[in-house]
Amino acid sequence: MTTLAVVGTGYVGLTTGACFAHLGHHVICADIDEEKVARLQRGEIPIVEDGLERLVTEGIKSGRLEFVVGAAEAARRAEIVFLCVPTPQGEDGAADLSYIEAAAAQIADVLQPEAVVVNKSTVPVGSTKVVERVLQRSDVYVVSNPEFLREGSAVNDFLKPDRIVIGSESQAAASKLAALYLGVPTPIIVTDPASAETIKYAANGFLAMKISFVNAVAAMCEAVGADVEDVVLGIGFDKRIGHEFLKPGPGWGGSCFPKDSRALVKIAEDHGYNFTMMRGVIDVNEQQRLRILAKIREAVGGVLHGAKVGVWGLTFKARTDDLRESPSIAAIHELLRSGAKVKAYDPTIVEPLSGYKRDLLQGVELCADPYGAADGVDALVVLTEWDEFRWLDLEKVASVMVGNCLVDARNLLQRSAVMHAGLKYVGVGRL
């Protein structure tokens, strides 16, 4: 059993802490948010993430999982310290390392000799050096161990990852870190820190590229009269292509792809390479948002001012409560700016709202169920792929709407079922 500290108890930190405790380690999770720490100490999970509550409860009961306020409090007792703090987009597109630097400064004086400090946050190439500079400790190691979990399946992704990547200049530190993952059967790639950091950005860049690609193909399908769902089926059976991540929609969002794709362009630019392909991926994503907005405008008869729009789905994807950079929120803000009225329903976003969620949803009428969000609207838009939207009574939906158009920005519903209910169906890249 190794004693670990996890600094930052957000989506990544809390999952990391709870999973390592589940694997048998003693984990001390730290956050600067005192209220969050108090809630976690009581076993209350501040986020929606499948299986996480069970692991946190199990960890607290076994005594292997603790929550404390402040990074130093956790780091002073740990052999290995994971930094899981935010790395938001800075003004110039580069990742803002101020949270990482602040966390490193907070732990510098209390680290045990031979401690390993792990960058699990997504950080640009060279960030292990940044942490080393802040720590000013020649007796500790700094390594990179990027995280690839997806919100919505974070626990499963952590315990059954496709691979683990460790970037370290010290073989001893890499081995110490690799030993923590005993019990996680997956390939471990040990490389230098710059390669590990690049792997994370390249992976996210590639995934964003797949979505932008399929959205571009969907636009082409609309132009030539093809059906993108059949096209994806047809290309996906090619083993070199596969079916994964080729789902047309309102564009990618979330807390990672937008900032990481811009950071990738910026890292390349700073090192003299113009990553035009990644710029194109970002451009296609912005175009896609406009294309969805144009569909909504058309659905309400061409004028958004004064129109009533119902929205199903607010989170950036299903099975999470995360609204950060959600395409749904971007669309809603644009609708409100154009003078439309917006009612919305999402299974994880319920009153009373607080913090950033309340700010993002200002001016939106939040409904308790999907029928409420359809009631009295000129058009209804599906913006998140929540499974429950597939099984609704569409005739009831049609009966409460004023207008008769359903824009399915996720290609989630059966067009025939929507039409059977007397509604007009508008999908993405579909005939």
CB burial of 273-305 (b: ≥16 within 10 Å; e: otherwise) equals eebeebbebbebbeebbebbbebbbebbeeebe
> Based on CB atoms, which residue is closest to ligand NAD, 69 or 392?
69
Is 165 a binding residue for ligand NAD by CB under 6 A? The answer is no
Of the pair 161, 313, the CB lying nearest ligand NAD is at 161
Site for ligand NAD (CB under 6 A): which residue of 6, 23, 27, 30? 30
With CB atoms as reference, the residue minimizing the distance to ligand NAD is 10
Report the residue number, 150 or 424, with the smaller CB distance to ligand NAD: 150
Rounded CA Rg of the chain: 23
Q: What tokens does 108 get?
A: 């510098």
Q: Does residue number 6 form part of the binding site for ligand NAD (CB under 6 A)?
A: no
Identify the residue among 2, 3, 32, 365 touching ligand NAD (CB under 6 A).
32
Cis ω before 193 (30° cut-off from 0): no
Window contacting ligand NAD (CB under 6 A); options: 102-110, 212-220, 290-298, 415-423: 102-110
For ligand NAD, which is the closer residue by CB, 46 or 280? 46
Number of residues that bind ligand NAD (CB under 6 A): 28
User: What are the Cα distances from residue 357, in Å, to 181, 349, 362?
Assistant: 35, 8, 9
256 annotated active-site: yes
Q: Does 119 bind ligand NAD (CB under 6 A)?
A: no
Q: Give exposure, 332-352, as e/b (b: 16+ Cβ within 10 Å).
A: bbbbbebebbbbbbbbbbeee
One of 11, 82, 158, 316 touching ligand NAD (CB under 6 A): 11
Q: Which residues contact 187 (CB under 8 A, 6 or more apart)?
A: 163, 164
Q: Does 164 bind ligand NAD (CB under 6 A)?
A: no
Beta bridge partners of residue 229, listed in sequence order? none
Q: Residue 329: which of 248, 254, 425 has the closest Cα?
A: 254
Stretch that binds ligand NAD, among 32-40, 233-241, 306-314, 366-374 (CB under 6 A): 32-40
CA pair distance 232, 248, nearest whole angstrom: 9
Q: Report the nearest approach of ligand NAD to the CB of residue 134 (Å).
A: 12
- Give catalytic residue positions: 256
Footprint of ligand NAD on this chain (CB under 6 A)?
A: 7-13, 30-33, 36, 71, 84-87, 99, 102-103, 106, 121-122, 147, 149, 151, 255-256
